[in-house]
A and B are shown apart, each in its own frame.
Chain A
Amino acid sequence: MVNGQPDRAINVIGLGKRFGARWVLRGVSLEVRRGEAVALLGPNGSGKSTVLRILGTLLNPNSGSASVNGLDVVRDASGVRGQVGYLAHTPGLYDDLTARENLRFAADMLGLPYAAVESSLERVGLAHVAGDRVRGFSAGMQRRLALARLVLQDPRVLLLDEPYSNLDADGVELMNSVIAGIVRSGGALLVALHELAPAKAMLDRTLTLVEGRIEGAH
């Protein structure tokens, strides 16, 4: 235990998940300690996103168990949701709202003051388009706005699914700086990646997932 928090931010034991008759995860076990950044690598369909979705309480496992900061993802899903920041393939923004309105909505849902919205927009370099509708944003700008939502939330555990897609070099640097800030302050990162290169410098370990099983660890 560190400061009353379990040392293991993420603890997964024998996780199994099937969709219909097909087993996507076959007994995955892994752990991520506080202050650690870990990448899940693997080909398409290997189960990377499914692991993240189970840890984010978006899916229930068929077997095994998973916990985030000591909270079980099934039995205490609401508590887990208060700990994790999840970034999926799609940015999950409302096209007909402005950037500011999107973040104000997130602030309302998270119980945060609106003042934090402006600083988040500044942090990701979107303050100058805060009043523009997201519909007119490029894919990279939408990704930055999704990152601003993470900055706003300041979660203890980051679950990121291909976070670098559509980001330019500056965007990659920004993403890494936000992630590093959260991990350095005692958070944890589990990131699903196709390509290791953009995240390599800040990762502590990599795990390779093949056909629903952990096949390699470095």
Chain B
Amino acid sequence: MTWRDDWRRVRAIARKDVTTELRAKAGFNSVASLGVTILILLGLALGPDAEALRNASVGAVWLATLFSGVLAFNRSFQVELESGALEPLLLYPGPRWTIFAGKLLGNLIFLTLMVAIVVAAGIVLFGVQIPADWPSLIGVLALGVVGLVVLGTFYASMASRSRAREVLLPLLLFPMLVPVLLAATTASKALLGADVMHEAGAWIRLLVAYDLVFLIATFIAFEHVIEA
């Protein structure tokens, strides 16, 4: 097996996951709708104060992403379990890390599409002004999404064979995502406020380190988790 074969496998799994999710009735539309609904509910709970809404916008967007992301991660392995497709998937020759990489890439594409919708909805619903340094804000979003997807995909694979996977996944995932949530919201808030205190850089470095550490760790651990 060459790296070309490995990449072909990764691409095939990602393409298959994105295609099935976009076609499934319980797929993309439901997850994206949940994200927007959470934003609306948080907006209603915060009341009509425009300043309070703007201040809460970053946290609201990240929470909506987190909660709807959990649904997406659960779905990515549920599709394999529904018709017993996990076993054939595990039986294809080649390294197991390619399965994780394919799932990761599929979830990354799926969640990026969903985040684009949630952020757009957040800008409209919470009256957020787009900052001059918007590319940095997109960078923070991307780093946060990578952290979320890496751990979400890994823990979804771990929880996939448990009957209580819908409950188990958030219980395992949420505590581990506290650093991502903290770093992503603080850096985003700083960038939305023109980063006068120059604090965004430190949080972005933390996000980069977190993503790298867990990307490596999950790739190493996946084979043991999926075979357990």
Contact = CB atoms under 8 A, between A and B. Distances in A.
Contacts of A84: 91
Interface string A61-88: 0000000000000000011011010101
Interface of B: 1, 5, 8-9, 11-13, 16, 19-20, 23-24, 79, 82-95, 227
Interface stretch (A101-109, A118-126, A184-192): A101-109
A92 B84 contact: yes
A91 B88 CA distance: 9
Given A78-B94, A101-B19, A109 B12 contact: yes
Contact of A92 (B12, B83, B94, B227): B83
Contact of A90 (B8, B84, B227): B84
B19 A108 contact: no
A81 B92 contact: yes
Contacts of A96: 19-20, 23-24
B87 A86 contact: yes
Contact of A110 (B16, B23, B92): B92
A98 B5 CA distance: 23
B74 to A, nearest CB: 16
Contacts of B83: 90-95
A57 interface: yes
A108 B8 contact: yes
Q: Is the interface of B mostly helix, strand, loop or mixed?
A: helix
Interface of A (DSSP majority class) = loop
A108 B9 CA distance: 6
B16 A58 contact: no
Interface string A18-58: 00000000000000000000000000000000000000111
Interface of A: 56-58, 60, 78-79, 81-82, 84, 86, 88-97, 101, 105-106, 108-111, 133, 149
A53 to B, nearest CB: 8
Given A56-B87, A58-B90, A93-B85, 16 more contacts: A78-B94, A82-B93, A86-B87, A90-B84, A91-B84, A92-B84, A93-B83, A94-B20, A94-B85, A95-B82, A96-B20, A97-B16, A101-B19, A106-B92, A109-B89, A111-B8
B88 A111 contact: no
Contacts of B13: 109
Nearest to B20: A96
A94 B79 contact: yes
Given A58-B90, A94-B85, A101-B19, A111 B79 contact: no
Contacts of B84: 88-92
A94 B18 CA distance: 12
Nearest to A153: B92
A77 to B, nearest CB: 9
18 contacts: A58-B90, A58-B91, A78-B94, A78-B95, A79-B93, A86-B88, A91-B83, A92-B83, A92-B84, A94-B79, A94-B85, A105-B12, A106-B92, A108-B9, A109-B13, A111-B1, A111-B5, A111-B8
